[in-house]
Amino acid sequence: MRADCHMHMVLDGVDWKSAIARHSEAPDEGWIHKILAHYRELGFDYLRDGGDRWGAGKRARELAPEYGITYRTPLAPLCKSGHYGAFIGKKYENFREYTALVSQARAEGADFIKIMISGLMDFDCCGRLTEDGLPPAEIRELIHIAHEEGFSVMAHANGARTVEAAAASGVGSVEHGAYLDTDALAAMKEKGVIWCPTLSTIGNLRGKGRFDEAAVRGILDTALENAAAFAAMGGILAPGTDAGAWAVPHGSLTEYELLEQVLGTAAKDALTRGIEAVRNRF
């Protein structure tokens, strides 16, 4: 069976605004049934949603058992006001507001907490992020507060120092993880952090003409090299496509292809181990 450890039911891989509009009044059950049926056809039995504030993932979790799928969601991802993530998440200004959102997530039945602690890759410029990560001390406190409520934490995190800080603080999984160095990889390995490199979000841009092709190739090569180095250290990699992101349709199999390229003959065992780790932790 397959798993996607990072997807977004609310999005469609084409246009995030119109995708979200579909669920703005209430979760669109027709859409959710169609997507869950598609995953079942492709042999997926575990989905971990990256969250949305309209309840699409929450409704999907309720419907997923009909399709033999275990579905986990943080409900809405949490992002700091003025930073990346506001298009899909709930915003907080300070730790007090963040703590209240974590308690609310607990009361509303979130399976884990998803935090956004860095910018995105600039797909036109290899090596550049759209903004710096939050300060390490702040990252530590965010993760600590979620742990106090008994939650595991999934973190959207790019950049070596951001990921290193999240790993040192006991984050459960790192999502994307662009531009890591040996120290960041070693910190993840040492703390048993699961890394979902979401290679599909880069790989699926190849040949689309939307971004600079040489930059896309460079970003992908860097990510593949880091994933290979992490696997060689014995780190835990898990397949997460970020399905719903632009050019990443639900059920995209690019993540499996690229991870198999990275892991070679060890791929089957390594991916089974990664999926097991996600299922146990989230």
Nearest Cα residue to 112 out of 166, 164, 75: 75
- Indicate whether 12 belongs to the interface with Zn ion (CB under 5 A): no
Q: Site mask, Zn ion, residues 37-56, x = CB under 5 A?
A: -------------x------
Which two three-digit tokens encode residue 102? Answer: 């974590």
Whole-number Å distance between alpha carbons of 178 and 227? 10
Question: Would you say 242 or 255 has its CB closer to Zn ion?
Answer: 242
CA angle 175–13–160, rounded 5-degree value: 20
Instruction: Say which residue the tokens 């939307």 belong to.
Output: 210
Min CB(282)–Zn ion separation in Å: 14
Min CB(99)–Zn ion separation in Å: 23
Min CB(74)–Zn ion separation in Å: 11
Min CB(201)–Zn ion separation in Å: 8
Question: Would you say 169 or 198 has its CB closer to Zn ion?
Answer: 198
Question: Would you say 31 or 189 has its CB closer to Zn ion?
Answer: 31
Question: Would you say 50 or 119 has its CB closer to Zn ion?
Answer: 50
Applying the rule CB under 5 A, the residues between 235 and 274 that interact with Zn ion are 242
Min CB(178)–Zn ion separation in Å: 13
Contact 169, 150 (CB under 8 A): no
Which two three-digit tokens encode residue 222? Answer: 């860097």
Min CB(279)–Zn ion separation in Å: 18
Question: Using the 8-state DSSP alphabet, how is residue 245 labeled?
Answer: B
- Number of other CB atoms surrounding residue 55 within 10 Å: 19
Whole-number Å distance between alpha carbons of 100 and 111? 16
Number of residues that bind Zn ion (CB under 5 A): 2
Question: Would you say 50 or 172 has its CB closer to Zn ion?
Answer: 50
Contact 89, 130 (CB under 8 A): no
Min CB(114)–Zn ion separation in Å: 8
Question: Would you say 146 or 157 has its CB closer to Zn ion?
Answer: 157
Q: What is the full DSSP assignment across 29-72?
A: HHHHHHHHHHHHHTTEEEEEE---TTSHHHHHHHHGGGGT-EEE
Min CB(13)–Zn ion separation in Å: 12
Question: Would you say 120 or 229 has its CB closer to Zn ion?
Answer: 120
Nearest Cα residue to 207 out of 247, 242, 256, 158: 247
Q: Site mask, Zn ion, residues 113-142, x = CB under 5 A?
A: ------------------------------
Which two three-digit tokens encode residue 258? Answer: 């690229």
- Residue whose CB is nearest to Zn ion in the complex, by number: 50
Instruction: Say which residue the tokens 């790993």 belong to.
Output: 167
Point out which residues bind Zn ion (CB under 5 A): 50, 242
